[in-house]
Amino acid sequence: MSGRSVDVLVVGGGLAGCAAAMTLARRGARVVVAERLAYPHDKVCGEFLSPECADRFGQLGVSERVAALRPPALDAAVLSSPGGVIWTARFDRPGMGISRRALDALLADAARAAGADVCERAVVTGISGNLDAGFEASIRAGACEQRWKARVVIGAHGKRSSFDRALGRRFLRVRQPFVGLKAYFDGPPLAGQVHLHAFPGGYCGLAPVETGHTNVCLLVRQAQFAAAAGPRGDIESFVRWMARQNVLLGDWLGSARRVSERWLSISQVPFMPKPALDGDVLMAGDAAGMIAPLAGNGMSMALDAGMMAADYSAALLDARLTPSDVRRGYADAWRRRFGNRLRLGRALQAALLRPWLLEPGLRFLRLAPLVGELLVTHTRDLNMNGHIGSVL
Ligand SMILES: Cc1cc2nc3c(=O)[nH]c(=O)nc-3n(C[C@H](O)[C@H](O)[C@H](O)COP(=O)(O)OP(=O)(O)OC[C@H]3O[C@@H](n4cnc5c(N)ncnc54)[C@H](O)[C@@H]3O)c2cc1C
């Protein structure tokens, strides 16, 4: 059993974790990131980065690294119903498509360059302590069990993790009825657009990424997946069924070829509210709450929340905030910044999953473009002000 002592332990080296780590390291904090996997690794994600991600990359000082990937610019989203009703939303400035394999590795490198210690294949299995006394975490790194001490812990471990179990988080008690799937395809060019095609019980996104392939990523109700995939859970049977449910999606898939060896899948995707501060751990990104993927805003929120958790951690380390200030302020600030977007995302997803509601909805949006613009704006984070407001 070996040990170490740091200012901040970040659990998870995805978007939120790397954003938190590089922000803190640049301010001189001793930060260690424990990431369960080795880089690079794939993730189930639509890989569409909303326009404001460019601002986040600017704040994090990684714009040049991101531009070097030469990601395709995406300036509109096309939404279609099973019956072929289409609505196109144009963005005020382009978003982009980047594989998570490249993006997460890039951010981990940038965190290291900033001075953070990013430990790969290190799983945080347990935690004790609090913001007053500091924390002690159990880490499994290969065959070694270690105990690390940290003044602050940031939970950036994603939507569902063994770390949630270690904290006994309540949301784990509720069964979540969604399955996610992702694979890369070569198919007809999408002309700088991201596509979202609805089918009964789910929706499927198509996004071009920097490798030249198109990421096909979908979310579907577990029951619908089981019914279409058959008793053996055959993904290909499900995909054939899905392609028959939406005219545009069927046409595209019919002319496309899967280039990934296999589909990547996840189950039990949780969309319910979660506390942003749990067991005195500052949660960031999906660990604090997951926005419905159709909003295309999860990655921007994760980067933003990582920086916000870093701001609060730094203020505690510098004694500008007390543990009580952080307890009071962080969860409130999180709710103010992200709460409405999460609620709107859930409502829009509920509509998208119901074709009888979706078709008239899309027809209405075609007639009332301003309403569409408002919906897009309200699922996005256009407020770029600092994170710690009234608590200081
Ligand atoms: C089907 C689907 C499609 C989506 N499409 C989009 C999209 O197109 N655009 C968009 O903006 N968002 C999209 N999202 C949302 C987006 O993927 C997430 O919001 C984003 O990945 C959150 O980043 P994060 O850093 O919070 O978590 P993650 O990126 O999941 O990172 C968490 C990290 O923690 C690590 N970890 C977990 N447990 C431990 C542990 N115990 N110890 C150490 N490490 C641990 C994991 O290995 C992982 O690397 C989609 C989500 C889904 C499910």
The DSSP line for 7-69 is EEEEE--SHHHHHHHHHHHHTT--EEEE-SSPSS---S---EEPTTHHHHHHHHT-HHHHHHT
Q: For the residues 69-78, what does the mean pLDDT come to?
A: 96
Instruction: Note the pTM of the prediction, 2 decimals.
Output: 0.94
Closest CA to 8 of 27, 26, 21: 21
Token digits for 187? 């198919």
Smallest CA separation from ligand 1 atom 19, residue: 298
Q: What share of the chain in percent tops pLDDT 70?
A: 94
Ligand 1 centroid to residue 159 C-alpha, Å: 6
Cβ neighbours of residue 321 closer than 8 Å, sequence gap 6 or more: 312, 315, 329, 388, 391, 392
Supply the DSSP string of 76-124, one letter for each residue. EEEEE-TT--EEEEEEEEEEEE--HHHHHHHHHHHHHHHT-EEETTEEE
Query: What value, to the nearest 5°, has the Cα angle with vertex 66 and ends 65 and 69?
Result: 95
Q: What is the pLDDT of residues 115-149, one digit of tens each?
A: 999 999 999 999 999 999 999 999 999 878 899 99
Q: How confident is the model at residue 360 (pLDDT cuts 50, 70, 90)?
A: confident
The Cα 211–Cα 192 span in angstroms is 14
Confidence band (pLDDT; 50, 70, 90) for 378? Answer: low
For residue 141, with 0-12 CB atoms within 10 Å meaning exposed, 13-18 middle and 19 or more buried, which class applies? Answer: middle
Superfamily for domain range 2-44+99-174+270-352:
FAD/NAD(P)-binding domain (3.50.50.60)
Report pLDDT for 357. Answer: 78
Please give the pLDDT value at position 362.
79
Is 217's pLDDT higher than 70?
yes
341 alpha carbon – ligand 1 mean position (Å)? 17
Mean pLDDT, the chain, as a whole number? Answer: 92
Tens digit of each residue's pLDDT (9 = 90 or more) over 152-177:
999 999 999 999 999 999 999 988 89
Q: Which residues line ligand 1 (CB under 6 A)?
A: 11-17, 34-37, 43-48, 50, 123-124, 156-158, 161-163, 180, 205, 217, 219, 269, 285-287, 290, 293, 296-300, 302
- The residues pairing with 140 across neighbouring beta strands, listed in sequence order, are 123, 145
The DSSP secondary structure of 299-314, one letter per residue, reads: HHHHHHHHHHHHHHHH
pLDDT (tens digit per residue) in 271-289 = 888 999 999 999 999 999 9
pLDDT given for residue 385 in this prediction: 44
pLDDT exceeds 50 at position 389: no
User: What's the rounded mean pLDDT across residues 246-258?
Assistant: 97
H/E element, 326: helix 323-352
For the cut 50, the answer to whether the pLDDT of residue 335 exceeds it is yes
Q: What is the spatial distance between Cα 188 and Cα 185, in angstroms, rounded to a whole number?
A: 10
CA of 46 relative to ligand 1 center, distance in Å: 11
- Integer Cα distance of 346 and 291 in angstroms: 7
Tokens of 385: 């002000």
**Nearest 5°: CA angle at 107, between 104 and 111?**
135
Tokens of 80: 């279609």
Q: Determine which helix (DSSP H) or strand (DSSP E) holds 135, and give its type and residue range.
A: strand 134-141
CA nearest 207: which of 90, 99, 105?
A: 99
With cut-offs at 50, 70 and 90, classify the pLDDT of residue 89: confident
- Residue 249 reports pLDDT greater than 90: yes
Choice from 36, 91, 380 to test ligand 1 binding pocket (greatest atom count within 8 A of CB): 36
Is residue 301 within 8 Å of 341, Cβ to Cβ? yes
Return the pLDDT at 12: 98
- Using the atom order of ligand 1, give the atom closest to the CA of residue 37: 47
- 84 pLDDT higher than 50: yes
Confidence at 351, pLDDT banded by 50, 70, 90: confident
Q: Check pLDDT > 60 for residue 382.
A: no
Euclidean distance between CA atoms 382 and 247, whole angstroms: 34
CA 205 vs CA 180, 202, 234, 350: distances in Å: 11, 10, 20, 16
Residue 156 alpha carbon to ligand 1 centre in Å: 9
Rounded CA-CA distance 307/289 in Å is: 16
Q: What is the Cα–Cα distance from 331 to 337, expressed in whole angstroms?
A: 10
Compute the distance from residue 170 Cα to the ligand 1 centre, in Å: 19
Question: What percentage of the chain has pLDDT greater than the value 90?
Answer: 78
- Residue 390's pLDDT band (cuts 50, 70, 90): very low
| SS3 assignment, position 183 | strand
Counting atoms of ligand 1 from 1, which one is nearest the CA of 306?
Answer: 25
| Per-residue model confidence (pLDDT) at position 384 | 42
Cα of 392 vs centre of ligand 1, distance in Å, is 31
pLDDT at 104: 98
Q: What are the structural domain ranges in the chain?
A: 2-44+99-174+270-352
pLDDT above 50 (res 106): yes
Closest ligand 1 atom to residue 182 Cα is 1
Question: Ligand 1 atom 20: the closest Cα is on which residue?
Answer: 299
Task: Using alpha carbons, select from 352, 349, 342, 347 the residue that is nearest to residue 379.
Answer: 342
Can you tell me the distance from the alpha carbon of 172 to that of 164, in angstroms, rounded to the nearest whole number?
Answer: 8
